[in-house]
Every structure is written in structure tokens, then in C-alpha cells.
């Protein structure tokens, strides 16, 4: 099934984990994809996967820092221009940092908020003119189960993801009459570079609080492709009547 034949997509966080899996899935389904990440090494792996799948001719690699306004304007703006427009935006880029809230510095807080929430805003703002031009653009943002359920030692991360969720609702209604759909996904219990090393503070950390963050179905954390398949559905015409909401993908961790 080629649900994205002739469609152009921009995926951030494309150098690892879920973002990389989303790129592979959209390429598999026929899209032309601009894959953006701050990591050149990660993007090299993304390109290798596309080469192996025989889809490298539809892949554009873009090194960009989503938390930097100039980088977004010049690098991602240039990528959208090279694509000749944009049909789908997937804001998968983000960072996970953990700390005791009482010990969290302002720099720590601002780094997490600046990358996750402000970065999502900057990329969305840059992409909106092109998405609105075709009358049926789609934005898929990455919230998290932490936006609605208690995740210890993740106050800054949870705040950033809750902000993304609210931001998604706002733009979904603001641009609905112009044909834009905006949805968010809430991954949880997904195996990726982010979750494999969340950096929980060792001193004073209560393992029983962290231990509840595991799925009830399956055999542990699910692979990134689990989320990529849902993103593909939402971004395709199969999700044409879905907007202004979020989809939780966590294997029942937060039932």
C-alpha cells in the first residue's frame, strides 16, 4: 500500500529512534522525505536504511537544530523549498532529561523546554505556509504519556510535552477551515535511544516509582516501528477525520 505516493514530508528527530522509524515507514509508502536531525552520524544511518530499502532517491538529509530559530529558518526552510512544498510535518525531535525537581536548574529547564516545546513551535511555524497551500496538510506532533500521567523526575519533560499537546489542539482549530489537520501521539514504553538512557538521578531515586512505567501487554518495551505505523495512519487519508486530539501508544501502561 502506497498511501504517500506524490506526497512530501518533513520529519524531525530523524537520526534515531522513532523519528528514524517514521522516515523508513513514509519512504516505504511512497513519500519523498526530508529527514532532519542535529546528528550527522544519526542521519547517516537513516540514509543507509533508505539505501538498503531502495528509497534513497526520495530522501533528503538536513542537519538542523530545532531549538535554534536561524537553523530552522535557513536549513528546514531550505529543505521545504527543495521539496517544492509540504504535505506532512512530523515533529518527532525531542530530548529526555531527568532530575529531582528541587535540584533542577533554570538552564536545565530551559534546555528541555527550548528543545521540545519551542522547537516544535519553530518548526511548525516555518512549515505552516507550505502546509496550508495545498489545503490538506497534516501535522503530527509528539507529546508523551508524561503529559497526562505522573512520571517521576521528569517535571521539565512532562511540562514540555503537555505544552505540545495544548499547542496541537490550538492550531488544529485555528487552521481547520483551511484544511489543516493537527494531531499528537503519546508514546510510552517504547524502546529508543531516549528511553534507554533517561538519566534518572541515582541519589534519592525511588525505583518503585519508576517501576510502574511498564506495559501490561507484549513482552516489554515496543520497538519504534510501533509508533511509526500509527503516525503513518494519522498522516495519511486513513486519518482524514482525525484532528485536534491525541493517540496514546503505550501497551496499556497507563490504563
Q: How confident is the model at residue 212 (pLDDT cuts 50, 70, 90)?
A: low
Over 60: is that where the pLDDT of 196 sits? no
Q: In CATH, what number is assigned to the domain containing residue 163?
A: 3.40.50.720
Establish how many alpha carbons lie within 13 A of residue 92's alpha carbon, considering only the half-sphere containing its beta carbon: 32
Q: How confident is the model at residue 200 (pLDDT cuts 50, 70, 90)?
A: low
Domain coverage including residue 29: 8-247
Question: Residue 2: inside a domain, yes or no?
Answer: no
Question: Residue 254: inside a domain, yes or no?
Answer: no
Question: Residue 21: inside a domain, yes or no?
Answer: yes
Question: Residue 48: inside a domain, yes or no?
Answer: yes
Q: How many domains does the chain have?
A: 1
Q: How confident is the model at residue 75 (pLDDT cuts 50, 70, 90)?
A: very high
Question: Residue 204: inside a domain, yes or no?
Answer: yes
Question: Residue 158: inside a domain, yes or no?
Answer: yes
Q: How confident is the model at residue 202 (pLDDT cuts 50, 70, 90)?
A: low
Closest CA to 131 of 1, 235, 238, 246: 235
Specify the pTM: 0.93
Question: Residue 3: inside a domain, yes or no?
Answer: no
Average pLDDT, the chain: 93
Question: Residue 123: inside a domain, yes or no?
Answer: yes
Cite the active site residues. Answer: 157
Predicted local distance difference test score (pLDDT) of residue 204: 73
| DSSP-assigned states of every residue in the chain | --TTTT-EEEEESTTSHHHHHHHHHHHHTT-EEEEEES-HHHHHHHHHHHHHHT-GGGEEEEE--TT-HHHIIIIIHHHHHHHTS-SEEEE---------GGG--HHHHHHHHIIIIIHHHHHHHHHHHHHHHTS--EEEEE--GGGTS--TT-HHHHHHHHHHHHHHHHHHHHTGGGT-EEEEEEE-SB-SHHHH-----STT--HHHHTT-S-SSSSSSBPTHHHHHHHHHHHSGGGTT--S-EEEESTTTT-
Q: What pairs with residue 183 in β-bridges? A: 140
Amino acid at each position: 500500500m502506497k498511501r504517500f505516493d506524490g506526497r512530501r514530508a518533513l520529519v524531525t528527530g530523524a537520526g534515531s529512534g522513532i523519528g528514524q522509524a517514521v522516515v523508513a515507514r513514509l519512504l516505504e509508502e511512497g513519500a519523498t522525505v526530508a529527514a532532519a536531525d542535529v546528528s550527522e552520524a544519526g542521519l547517516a544511518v537513516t540514509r543507509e536504511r533508505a539505501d538498503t530499502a531502495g528509497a534513497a532517491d526520495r530522501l533528503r538529509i538536513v542537519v538542523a537544530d530545532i531549538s535554534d530559530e536561524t537553523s530552522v529558518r535557513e536549513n528546514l526552510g531550505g529543505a521545504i523549498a527543495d521539496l517544492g512544498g509540504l504535505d506532512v510535518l512530523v515533529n518527532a525531535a525531542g530530548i529526555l532529561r531527568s532530575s529531582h525537581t528541587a535540584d533542577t536548574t533554570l538552564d536545565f529547564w530551559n534546555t528541555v523546554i527550548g528543545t521540545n516545546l519551542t522547537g516544535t513551535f519553530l518548526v511548525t511555524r516555518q512549515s505552516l505556509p507550505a502546509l496550508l497551500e495545498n489545503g490538506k496538510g497534516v501535522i503530527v506532533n509528539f507529546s508523551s504519556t508524561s503529559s497526562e500521567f505522573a512520571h517521576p523526575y521528569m517535571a521539565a519533560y512532562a511540562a514540555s510535552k503537555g505544552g505540545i499537546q495544548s499547542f496541537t489542539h490550538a492550531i488544529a482549530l485555528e487552521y481547520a477551515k483551511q484544511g489543516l489537520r493537527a494531531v499528537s501521539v503519546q508514546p510510552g514504553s517504547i524502546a529508543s535511544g531516549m528511553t534507554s538512557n533517561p538519566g534518572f538521578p541515582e541519589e534519592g531515586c525511588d525505583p518503585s516509582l519508576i517501576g510502574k512505567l511498564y506495559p501490561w501487554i507484549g513482552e516489554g518495551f515496543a520497538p519504534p516501528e510501533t509508533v511509526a505505523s500509527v503516525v503513518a495512519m494519522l498522516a495519511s487519508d486513513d486519518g482524514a477525520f482525525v484532528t485536534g486530539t491525541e493517540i496514546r501508544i503505550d501497551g496499556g501502561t497507563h490504563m
